[in-house]
Amino acid sequence: MKIHVATLLKSTLALTLAAASVPAVHASPLHKGMHLHPGIDSRICLHVFNAGNQFREIVVEGKTYEVQPHQGAMIKAPAGTKVYAGFNVSQHKKGTVLLELTDEVNGKRIVLS
């Protein structure tokens, strides 16, 4: 009978410690980045949709994103960031600024053709 009581006590202790660890970590000054509720994201969010029949590339903050035909990509970047064309078509040459991320385009959908 002693063996079962010891196992029960160990299990109860383990569960109690596990339950107490989450609030303890959250209350600790060392928990940076471990918030239970993340803060507000101040970046601009934009959905880019490729309505064309060929892939298109866009460049944001020096990173190239490939958008497949009839697919989309979600972009998040700080306000003031410029989105560049990474492709050549009649209306846009590679390196042309397509748009600048501002509050007016936040949450909008931009269509590439």
Write down the pLDDT at residue 16: 73
Question: Is it the case that residue 86 has pLDDT exceeding 70?
Answer: yes
Write down the pLDDT at residue 109: 93
Strands 109-112 and 44-50: parallel
Same domain, 60 and 15: no
Same domain, 60 and 80: yes
Number of H helices, E strands in the chain: 1, 7
Structural domain that includes position 49? 44-112
Stretch 8-28: mean pLDDT: 66
Write down the pLDDT at residue 11: 73
Run of H or E residues at 49: strand 44-50
- For 21-76, the pLDDT digits (tens) are 666 555 555 555 555 556 677 899 999 999 989 999 999 999 999 999 999 999 99
Nearest to 92 by CA among 66, 64, 68, 112: 112
**Tally of structural domains, the chain:** 2
Nearest to 74 by CA among 104, 39, 101: 101
| Residue 103 DSSP one-character state | G
Write down the pLDDT at residue 67: 93
